Each structure stands twice: as structure tokens, then as C-alpha cells.
Amino acid sequence: MKAETLPSSEFARWTAPLARQVTLASRKKDLHVGDRLFFWFMFSAASGVVVLLFLIAFFLGFSALPSMARSGFSFLWERNWDPVAGEFGALAFVYGTLVSSFLAILIAAPLSVAIALFLGELAPKKLAHGMGFLVEMLAAIPSVVYGLWGIFVLAPWLRTDVQPFLGKSFGFLPIFQGPPYGVGMMTAGIILAIMIVPTISSLCREVFRAVPRSNREAALALGATRWETMRLAVLKSSKTGIFGAVILGLGRALGETMAVTMVIGNRNDIALSLFAPGQTMASIIANEYSEATTSLHLAALAEIGLTLFAVTFVINAIARLFIWRVKRGAR
Amino acid sequence: MNSAMLQNYLNEGYAKRQWLDRFMRALLLVASVIALLPLFSVLLYLFKNGLPGIQLSFFTSLPKPVGEVGGGMANALVGTCTLVSIGTLVGVPWGIATGVFLSEYGRSRFASVVRFCTDMLSSVPSIVIGLFVYALVVVPMGGFSAIAGGIALGLLMIPTVARSSEEMLRLVPTHIREAGLALGLPRWKVILRIVLRGCVSSISTGVILAVARVAGETAPLLFTALNNQHWSEGLDQPIASLPVQIYTYAISPFNEWNTQAWAGALVLVFLVFVVNILTRAFFVSDGVGRE
């Protein structure tokens, strides 16, 4: 096969170097039939991953067709969700996803940066190693176990201790009003925060590692304290990377399903109070998809899934762009 | 301002800076400990609520209806093994082949597209994978099945396996490949017999960690493998799994079932932790199986 005979499409532009490689390798035909076969085998596996992403988008779009034909994407800002009456508005779920994820980021981002700083800059090596292991174990616990813990430990604690206190002290804020349910937006946000801390902190550690040692030494040599060194030499130059790590955590939080489904209370409505139960885009799919009977109901849920896929895709692409830039800069 | 006053001024500033330094260092320590507290709380309650439910019958008998004492999760344990095996059959060869492509032929522009897509695939929410497999497998097959659930788990394994095997293969020095080629071996033999064989243990670490991760996945199984209160009658039938069973029991209003959920969760976490700790103890290399 010659590289010149390939069509000059975009695809060929990507594969041309490979084809050339194969052409070069297969000059001596008798030896290299196996090489070509092997190459195409590995190549098809790799391109399968690319195809898979397109297939996911395609199949979700196909499943969502009846709903999209009915209302396009306007159902994302309609409020009523009543499958029996044939009303499908996803606003409450979009709201739930956004609020719970931002709450999670609000809690997890400072904690993760603190862990990354402590483990990377302050702690002695052995302690850092041990605590790093514990953080990884935090990430290894399955989502459903966090949900279980959320139902029976976290939610009761929030209901009896934390939420009454918040209501009493900060009750003038609308987000802390209303009866403490335990299960609800706040519980979901906290569980999500716990689950994304490992992701954000390990990325932050990588970002901090990319800062040259000489920057720290320069700050210390000028008489800066340890904290000033961290602030001036490490944090200041890692802003982009931290931002990327937090966005990646956000992407994780948006799509997280089981733990949230178990503790958010599953109520299809919008409430300003963080104590109130709600519903997220992922949790409504988990709750209703296997029990949906009408094709329109299934399609509406698939359309929510498609939206979730698109949003997490864009967010992750942005985050990786940021982190990639930081890592490339370090080289 | 005379020199004594200046000295005084500087000392005061220094004291303030010292104090701030100490305060911030303490704050960082406290924040790190706070972030780790949930881990200890989860483990504590897993033992406290889960241990009473761990008896021999838990591993050997089927779930019993509400109100009857006893019952276990034998079918769910077997189900999880079945699902994970199917997932491994789908995800591991695909993932390793992608990893080989990325490390051995990975300099082209197309390879960086593949790398990007692998990253993107790993960030697709698992429930979305469930929806995809529902449309791809469940609808054409006409029902929920172990095969569908296994495929969903397999797809989730691909990115982890691909990226970790790529990293491991890259650690193999180029001169080893050159030595093989210089002996007149064709490239595919060099890759299969020399490069891959050299990394069998580190690649399998990545595979095992990926298995441990998907073994706890619930969301993609909800509408692919569904659940089953009995033994599954075949791979084309719905099948129980440990995570889905934990979910079902956890949200039920019955005390007996909640206890079973805790016991199941204890078993699941125990398995996941043992795998994680063992692989880390045997193959001490940072970054394996991490994103």
C-alpha cells in the first residue's frame, strides 16, 4: 500500500504518517505481513475508542428522538415533570445538578488545595505517603457505599445537629430556611464534595510538582516563611492548574449518580433552601429509567442523559486543556 | 525614626509573619485531617453495622422475603463475579490493544486524538454508559441481561486499562525494542514477546485496579443487568450484583434489609481495599491505575 493512493480527506491526514510507517515497515513483504496485521489490529482497537464516543452520542440522540421532536431542548427550562400527564420539563433536575455540584465544589476546592499543599510542601515524606494512600482509599470506596453511609450516618447527623444549628444562626438566609429533612440538597453536596476531593487534590499535587524547585528556594532565600513561600512561589504560578483541577472535579460531580440518588430525597421540585429535598439529572434517570413505560418518558430521560453527556464532555475538555497547558509548560 | 524604632517595627512585622505562618500551617493540617474524617467514619460504621450481618449464610443463601430472618447475597456475589468477568473479556483486550497502539505507534496526530478520546471516555458519567448500553444491547436483545451489564462494565474499564498500560509500556527502554529488531524479529513479535512480556506484572496491576473499580459500579447496571432475587438462569437473563443489591436494600424501609445492605457494603469495601492494598504493596509504582 502506498501513502499517495490514500484519499486526501481529513481522516487520511491523520492516518498518513501511520500509513507511511506501515509502508516503510512492509518493504520486505515476506517478513512483514504479520506486522501489518498486528498494526491494523491495534489500530482498529484504538480507533474503536474514538468511534465509541461517537456511538454514545449517536445512540443517546437516537433514543432521545421522540422527545427532541416534541420539544427540542426547550424542555430544559420547563418546570413541570409529570410522566403520567405527559409533561416533561427538566428544569428542576438541571437546578438540582447545578446547585449540588457547586455546593460540592465550594466545600471540596479549598480542602483539596489544602491537602495538596500539606502533602506536597509541608508533611515529612513518610506522613505524606501514608496520607496520600488514605486519600486514594477515599477514592476507591464505591459510590453506593457512600450513599449507604449518607442515608444512615450523614443525613441523620445533619438533621439532628447541623441543620437546626444553621437554621437558628443563619436562618435569615433563604438557603438555610425550612424544616431540616436530613436528606436533601445539602447532604448531596457534602457527599459529592467527599467524593471529588481525591480527584482535585491529586491533580493539584501534580500541578504543584510542576513548579520548579528553584522558585521555592528563591522565596526562602529572600527570607519568606514557609507559608509565604507556598503563597508566592507555588500558589501564584499554579492558578491555571488549580482552576483546571477544580473544573475536572466539577465534571465528576455533575455526572455522579448513586450516592446522590440515595441522599438527595428525590423530589421533583425547585426549592431555594438547601435543607429541602431535590433531584438531579443523573438521579432522575437512575430512579425512573427502568420503570418508565411510555416511549416519550424513556426518550425524555434519554435526552436528559444526552444533555449530561454533552455538558460533562465540554467541561472535561476545558479542564484537560488547562491542565495540559500547565504540564507542558513544566517541561 | 531612629534605628531602635526601626528594629522594633521590623521585629513586630516579623512576629506577625511568624504567627501567620504558624496559623496557616496548622490550618492546612486541620483541613487535611477534616478531609480524611469521612474515610474513618465510613469504615467505622461499616464495621459497626455490617459485621453483625456477616455470617456463613450471608455467603451461601439467597435473599429472603421481608419478615423472614436470615438470607444472604450468594446470588449477588456470583452475579458480580459473572458481570466483572464479562466486563474483563470486553474491556481488557480492547484496553491493552489501545495502550499498545498509543505507546508503540503513538507519535502521529491520530494517536493524540485517541489519547484525548480515552480521557473523554473516562469522564463520561457511568449512568450515561448505562443509557448507551441500554440502547445498544438491551433493546435489540429484548430484555435486561448479564451480557448487557458486563458490556457496560467493560466499556468503563477501557480508558483505565488503556492509559495505565500505555504508561507501563513506555517505561520499557527503546534499546530493548532495537535489540529485538536487530535480531531480525518482526515488529509484532518484538512487541508481543519482548515488550509486553516485560510488563505483564505492571499491566496486570492496572487491570486489577480497573476490575476493583468497576466491581463497585452501580449506575450502569440499573437498567442493563437490572437485578434478580434468585439465581440467574443464563447470561441473557437479568442478574443480581452486589452493588445493585446494596442499593435496593439500602433504600428499603425494612431493618433486616438495611442490615444486609451494610453487610454487603462491608464485603464490597473489604474486597476493593484488599485488592488496592495488595497491588500497591507488590508493585510499588506511583501512578498505576490513577488518572
State in Å, rounded, how far the first CA of chain B is from the last one: 58
- Quick check: helix, strand or coil at residue A87? strand
State the Cα–Cα distance between residues A141 and B265, nearest whole angstrom. 10
pLDDT digit string, tens, across residues B66-112: 777 778 899 999 999 999 999 999 999 999 999 999 999 988 899 99
- Closest residue in A to B288 (Cα) is A136
Q: Which of A29, A42, A196 to mutate to test the interface with B (most CBs of B within 10 A)?
A: A42
State the Cα–Cα distance between residues A277 and B41, nearest whole angstrom. 24
Which H, E and C letters describe A25-37, residue by residue? HCCCHHHHHHHHH
pLDDT of residue A4: 45
The CA distances from residue A118 to A128, A195, A204, A244, in Å, are: 8, 19, 11, 20
State the Cα–Cα distance between residues A200 and B40, nearest whole angstrom. 20
Q: Of the candidates A52, A91, A119, A111, which has an alpha carbon nearest to the alpha carbon of residue A249? A: A111
CB contact under 8 A, B31 and A15: no
Residues 6 or more apart from B72 whose CB is under 8 A from it?
B55, B57, B58, B59, B60, B61, B62, B63, B260
Q: Which of B114, B127, B157, B169 to mutate to test the interface with A (most CBs of A within 10 A)?
A: B127
Residues 6 or more apart from A246 whose CB is under 8 A from it?
A105, A109, A112, A200
Residue A220 C-alpha cell reads as 526562602
| E strand segments, chain A | 81-82, 87-88
**How far off is chain A from B94, nearest CA to CA, in Å?**
6
Share of chain B above pLDDT 90, in %: 69
The amino acid at residue B174 is T
pLDDT digit string, tens, across residues B110-160: 999 999 999 999 999 999 999 999 999 999 999 999 999 999 999 999 999
- Closest residue in B to A37 (Cα) is B188
- How many residues does the structure list for chain B? 291
State the Cα–Cα distance between residues B150 and A284, nearest whole angstrom. 23
pLDDT of residue A331: 52
Measured over the CA atoms of residue A83, residue A88, residue A89 and residue A95, the dihedral's sign is positive
**How far off is chain B from A121, nearest CA to CA, in Å?**
10
pLDDT of residue A70: 86
Of B42, B102, B265, Cβ closest to residue A46: B102
Residues 6 or more apart from A125 whose CB is under 8 A from it?
none
pLDDT of residue A25: 55
A74: left (phi over 0), alpha (psi -120 to 50) or beta: alpha
The amino acid at residue B35 is A
State the Cα–Cα distance between residues A244 and A326, nearest whole angstrom. 9
State the Cα–Cα distance between residues A250 and A18, nearest whole angstrom. 37
Residue A140, chain B, CB below 8 Å: the answer is: yes
Decide: A243 and B41 in contact? Cβ < 8 Å: no
Which secondary structure element, helix H or strand E, spans residue B207, and what is its range? helix B200-215
Measured over the CA atoms of residue B270, residue B274, residue B276 and residue B277, the dihedral's sign is positive
CB contact under 8 A, A147 and B113: no
- Closest residue in A to B213 (Cα) is A140
User: Residue A87 — φ and ψ, nearest 5°?
Assistant: -100, 125
Of A140, A197, A262, Cβ closest to residue B272: A140
- Quick check: helix, strand or coil at residue B125? coil
The mean pLDDT value for B260-287 works out to: 84
CB contact under 8 A, B123 and A202: no
Q: Of the candidates A196, A313, A190, which has an alpha carbon nearest to the alpha carbon of residue A246? A: A196
State the Cα–Cα distance between residues A308 and A280, nearest whole angstrom. 10
State the Cα–Cα distance between residues A23 and A263, nearest whole angstrom. 58
Pairing of β A87-88 and β A81-82: antiparallel
- Quick check: helix, strand or coil at residue B237? coil
In this prediction the ipTM stands at 0.91
Residue by residue, DSSP assigns A254-286 as HH--HHHHHHS----S--SSTTS----HHHHHH
Residues 6 or more apart from B180 whose CB is under 8 A from it?
B189, B190, B193, B194, B195
Report A:156-185 residues touching B (Cβ under 8 A).
none
Q: pLDDT at residue B245 above 50?
A: yes
CB contact under 8 A, B25 and A227: yes
Burial tier of A6 (Cβ tally within 10 Å: 0-12, 13-18, 19+): middle
- Quick check: helix, strand or coil at residue A81? strand
**How far off is chain A from B1, nearest CA to CA, in Å?**
24
Of A112, A144, A316, Cβ closest to residue B218: A144
A141: left (phi over 0), alpha (psi -120 to 50) or beta: beta
Decide: B236 and B141 in contact? Cβ < 8 Å: yes
Regions of chain A short of the pLDDT cut 50: 1-7, 28, 30
Instruction: Provide the pLDDT confidence category of residue B291 given band limits of 50, 70 and 90.
Output: very low
- Residue that is written with C-alpha cell 467493560 in the block: B154
pLDDT of residue A312: 95
Instruction: Provide the pLDDT confidence category of residue B284 given band limits of 50, 70 and 90.
Output: low
pLDDT of residue A187: 96
Q: Count other Cβ atoms within 10 Å, centred on residue B108.
A: 17
Size of interface A-B (CB pairs under 8 A): 279
